[in-house]
Amino acid sequence: MTELQQRLATGKGKFTPLYEDLDTGPVSYEDSISPEFFEAEREAVFKRSWLYVGRSERLPRPGTFFTRELKGLASIVVSRRKDGVVNAFHNVCAHRGNKVVWQEHPQEESKGSCREFACKYHGWRYGLDGRVTHVTNEEEFFGLDKDSLRMPPVHCEEFAGFIFVNLAPDPVPLRTYLGDRLLELEAYPFGEMTQHYGFSAPIRGNWKLAVDSVCEWYHPPYVHARFIDKDIAKAEKMVPPPDSYHYDLFTPHMLTSVPGPPPLPPREPGTAGPAARDQKWVYRLFRAGLFGPDDVPDIGPLPEFLNAGNIKSWGNDQFWLFPNLSVQIWARGFYITYTYWPEAVDKHTYDIDLYFVPPKNAQERLAQELIVDSTIEFAMQDVNTIEATQQGLSTRANRQFHLSDQELLIRKFHKTVRDTVAAHGARDAKEG
């Protein structure tokens, strides 16, 4: 063990056997390659779960709106009404079904600010709540009940500045869905972190395989070897030992906390040393690394719910909000969200959004730039692994795979998806 590993090791034994609903046997990845499963998953999971569609800061004033293309699910408009409430509705005209809100390209998302939405086809208009306010040549229609006409509503609720929608007719309230453990998130000052970077990548792989890739720290010495150490044997030793992570599975959601390196100590300007072709020098110069800035912004005392496992050198908490959102709160005062949007059994869109406190000067701005760039360089390496895994799995040359104790979250996540699909199927069969 290296010194780092010794310092972080907890001496805890295995985690997986602690969870009674989890076995330790081999797993099937049929859930990531079967088109039938994909369709069932869309019905049981995505059409019935609360789905994160954007931060509240995107709707700063009444009249502001954005659209989301949830491929294969819905095209929705999310708007802030005059009374300040955020609501959502399907982007479909009550007249002949035209998509109402778009600019230039109907298939692209849009955003803006307005008093009313006007359909580009025949000029019907809708209020910020989706209700019809104007029917062109109304008198020519037959028995129109204008008051009931609208773009179909979608359940929409805000939590801690995160806007969620639910496509089910009668979902449980968002707060019930999140449960006590996640409600604690509300104590975090998300709203202060308005410096926003967003990225989106098309990936030729099942969305769950992408989730898997951030749920374990088994792969970094190999996939990210060059970042850690060119010598893989050394890289292996630099990664904290498996028992230094903290896990908490509270179905359907889950949490893992990750150790991280301590920030660099304060440094007098002019002491970075001579320029070198050495990334450690770059980190020292810009006072940041993958785990955050060295000059941690003052966002007040950290809410108590963070680092529940008391990791000695805490790096971040990753909250997995079932099904497709991860909120990663980093020890050094910023947060990242990962969102995964399936499009086909072997295709999804992966969104990464990073949020910081607005920088006060160039030094802070550059530190954030470095964190963003590092995150994306790492993510690009992960993306290709996901595509390679999809290809390997889809041959079905092998149908049984093996998960170690440090891949606990993956075992749990796939089980939760499979269970949700099975439960929905059973309900369907009963209601027949």
Partner 1 sequence: MSTTTLPAQFAELEQWVADWARPTRQERYDMRLSKKYDQLEEFYDAIAPRAEEAIDYLNGRDLTDLADDDARLLQLLYSMILVSYAVNVFMQPRIPDSGAAFFNTTAEPAV
Q: Distance between CA atoms of 200 and 18, rounded to whole angstroms? A: 37
> What is the closest distance, in whole angstroms, from the C-beta atom of residue 349 to partner 1 in the complex?
10
196 lines the binding site for partner 1 (CB under 8 A): yes
343 lines the binding site for partner 1 (CB under 8 A): no
Q: Which residue has 């008198």 as its token pair? A: 139
124 lines the binding site for ligand FES (CB under 6 A): yes
Q: Which residue has 């293309």 as its token pair? A: 69
391 lines the binding site for partner 1 (CB under 8 A): no
151 lines the binding site for ligand FES (CB under 6 A): no
> What is the closest distance, in whole angstroms, from the C-beta atom of residue 346 to partner 1 in the complex?
15
Q: Which stretch binds Fe ion (CB under 5 A): 175-183, 337-345, 357-365, 375-383?
A: 375-383
Of these, 33, 77, 93, 383, which contacts partner 1 (CB under 8 A)? Answer: 383
370 lines the binding site for partner 1 (CB under 8 A): yes
Interactions with partner 1, residue window 259-298 (CB under 8 A): 269-270, 272, 274-279, 282, 285-286
Cα dihedral 165→166→167→171 (10° resolution): -150
> What is the closest distance, in whole angstroms, from the C-beta atom of residue 352 to Fe ion in the complex?
12
Kindly state the tokens that stand for 351: 């969104």
Rg for the chain, CA atoms, rounded: 24
Q: Which stretch binds partner 1 (CB under 8 A): 10-18, 38-46, 158-166, 368-376?
A: 368-376
Q: Which is nearer to partner 1, 67 or 381 (CB)?
A: 381
Selection from 299, 315, 293 nearest residue 363 by Cα: 293
Q: Which is nearer to ligand FES, 96 or 360 (CB)?
A: 96
> What is the closest distance, in whole angstroms, from the C-beta atom of residue 258 to partner 1 in the complex?
21
Of these, 116, 377, 391, 423, which contacts partner 1 (CB under 8 A)? Answer: 377
Of these, 19, 121, 281, 378, which contacts ligand FES (CB under 6 A)? Answer: 121
369 binds, among partner 1, Fe ion, ligand FES, none (CB under 5 to 8 A by kind): partner 1
Q: How far is CA 185 from CA 195, 213, 357, in A?
A: 20, 24, 18
> What is the closest distance, in whole angstroms, from the C-beta atom of residue 139 to partner 1 in the complex?
45
105 lines the binding site for partner 1 (CB under 8 A): no
Task: Name the maximum alpha-carbon separation found in the chain.
Answer: 82
413 lines the binding site for ligand FES (CB under 6 A): no
Kindly state the tokens that stand for 100: 């109402």
> What is the closest distance, in whole angstroms, from the C-beta atom of residue 270 to Fe ion in the complex?
35
3-state secondary structure 301-365: CCCCCCCCCCCCCEEEEEEEECCCEEEEEECCCEEEEEEEEEEECCEEEEEEEEEECCCCCHHHH
Q: Which is nearer to ligand FES, 93 or 311 (CB)?
A: 93
382 lines the binding site for Fe ion (CB under 5 A): yes
Let me know: does 386 contact 33? Beta carbons within 8 Å: no
231 lines the binding site for partner 1 (CB under 8 A): no
Q: Which is nearer to partner 1, 128 or 393 (CB)?
A: 393
Interactions with ligand FES, residue window 85-114 (CB under 6 A): 93, 95-96, 98
CA within 13 Å, CB half, 186: 10
Three-class SS of residue 119?
Answer: coil
> What is the closest distance, in whole angstroms, from the C-beta atom of residue 119 to ligand FES in the complex?
3
Q: Which stretch binds Fe ion (CB under 5 A): 15-23, 86-94, 349-357, 374-382?
A: 374-382
Q: What does the buried/exposed string (b/e) look like for 242-274 if buried means 16 or more CB atoms within 10 Å of the residue's CB?
A: bbbbbbebeebbbbbbbbbeebeeeeeeeeeee
117 lines the binding site for ligand FES (CB under 6 A): no
Q: Where are any strands of DSSP class E within 110-260?
A: 111-113, 117-118, 125-126, 132-134, 153-159, 162-166, 195-203, 246-250, 253-259
Q: Distance between CA atoms of 356 and 420, rounded to whole angstroms? A: 35
> What is the closest distance, in whole angstroms, from the C-beta atom of residue 224 to Fe ion in the complex?
6
Selection from 358, 355, 366 nearest residue 188 by Cα: 355
Interactions with Fe ion, residue window 388-407 (CB under 5 A): none
Give the other-Cβ count within 10 Å of 4's Cβ.
17
Q: What does the buried/exposed string (b/e) look like for 388-408 if buried means 16 or more CB atoms within 10 Å of the residue's CB?
A: ebbeebbeeeeeeeebebbbb
Binding residues (CB under 5 A) for Fe ion: these are 382
Residues that bind partner 1 (CB under 8 A): 195-201, 203, 226-227, 269-270, 272, 274-279, 282, 285-286, 351-353, 359-363, 365-366, 369-370, 372-374, 376-377, 379-381, 383-384, 387
Please report, as ranges, the residues that interact with ligand FES according to CB under 6 A: 93, 95-96, 98, 119, 121-124
